[in-house]
Amino acid sequence: MQSNPDIKAPLWLLAELTYRCPLQCPYCSNPLDFARASEELTTAQWIEVFKQARAMGSVQLGFSGGEPLTRKDLPELIAVARELGFYTNLITSGIGLTAKKLDLFADAGLDHIQISFQASDETLNAALAGSKKAFTQKLEMAKAVKAHGYPMVLNFVLHRHNIDQIDRIIELCIELEADDVELATCQFYGWAQLNREGLLPTRKQIADAEKVVASYREKMAASGNLTNLIFVTPDYYEERPKGCMGGWGAIFMNVTPDGKALPCHSARQLPIEFPSVLEHRLDDIWYNSFGFNRYRGYDWMPEPCRSCDEKEKDFGGCRCQAFMLTGNADNADPVCSKSAHHGKILEAREEANHCQMTIEQLQFRHQRNSELIFKTSV
């Protein structure tokens, strides 16, 4: 149902199978009112989504959440995706993973597993995840994933409470023989945006962490350890925005647990009615829906984006961030120093320098908090 030949098919489909999760991380990117989405797509409905995406030309399929391991049909979904020809990636906290499940996933044809950690030690990991047993479970499963022959991919979400232990985090990754390590500072959406005051690192913390990462990269290169060490800093300390998701509706499609199709993880918060896969075919959504076409290309751009010589690089920045910080998704991303709203970012930087908020003062992601937020928003 392609009506515009200039629009290419989505290469990557992210299936957010569920918002359920045993952990309570205060930086979770799930929507604040996730309790509103009580219904999840069935096995058959997800399989139909996969078939439609593959027919469009999508090649990579990520299983995410919440915690995707809470879905009992995960092995079946992996097997169908593999049969359709997808490269499959499981993004998990590792909680609920077992050696038996790893065997099932391997038999089903899973290509890739990424495990996330909250910290490099049990105490801080427990404080952030809301689970005392999580750290030990993660360690055991990371070793089991490696033993099964999967690439050892570890992810640490960094923020002001754990970034100063980045050297110990890297040492843990080396100990676990990680092949790929992503040290990614919080992206401030969902619960991370709610807790931004207590999570945004200071500029000094970022600079110190960059030095540590550079030092380890040199050591690894000298020793022949070719671990891929990626460090993603927060755009709050940039003067130009990042090219969010490779451009709006360009290469990525996200399907939520209840079937909403989105051009990025956080677009659900925008004042746009995004279509459901239960009511529309995926190709119709991708090529023809208002939501996916709203910010494609450059015609929608106001100044200063429209005349900016960098618009083909950053696509005007993040629409969700523009909406969250300015109340209007059409505005230039406030990260950009050319934006009339750049002062919002400068205020956040200054706030980070003086914040004394402890971990205990953060709002943690769990059902009760979500229900309260949902009730106060309607």
What is the full DSSP assignment across 265-334? TTGGGSSS---BTTTS-HHHHHHH-HHHHTTSSSTT--TTTTT-TTHHHHTTS-HHHHHHHHS-TTSPPT
Q: What integer is the mean pLDDT of 33-52?
A: 93
Query: Between vectors from CA 194 to CA 198 and to CA 203, what angle results, nearest 5°?
Result: 40
- The Cα–Cα gap between 355 and 349 comes to 10
pLDDT in tens, 73-104: 999 999 999 999 999 999 999 999 999 999 99
Omega within 30 of 0 (cis) for the link into 26: no
- Counting beta carbons within 10 angstroms of the beta carbon of residue 180, is it exposed (0 to 12), middle (13 to 18) or buried (19 or more)? middle
Is residue 28 a known part of a binding site? yes
Give the H or E element holding residue 136: helix 134-147
pLDDT (0 to 100) of residue 225: 74
Task: Examine the pLDDT at 220 and tell me if it is beyond 90.
Answer: no
| Residue 219: half-sphere exposure toward Cβ, Cα within 13 Å | 11
Q: Are 155 and 132 in contact (CB under 8 A)?
A: no
Is residue 308 a known part of a binding site? no
Omega within 30 of 0 (cis) for the link into 271: no
Handedness of CA 295, 298, 303, 308 (dihedral sign): positive
Omega within 30 of 0 (cis) for the link into 66: yes
- Is residue 378 very low, low, confident or very high in pLDDT (cuts 50, 70, 90)? low
Q: How many residues does the chain have?
A: 378
Q: Are 153 and 112 in contact (CB under 8 A)?
A: yes
pLDDT (0 to 100) of residue 1: 54
- Domains within the chain, CATH numbers bracketed: 11-377 (3.20.20.70)
- What torsion do the CA atoms of 305, 306, 308, 314 make, to the nearest 10 degrees? 60
- Lookup: tokens for 240: 């130009």
pLDDT in tens, 321-367: 999 999 999 999 999 999 999 999 999 999 999 999 999 999 999 88
- The Cα–Cα gap between 254 and 292 comes to 11
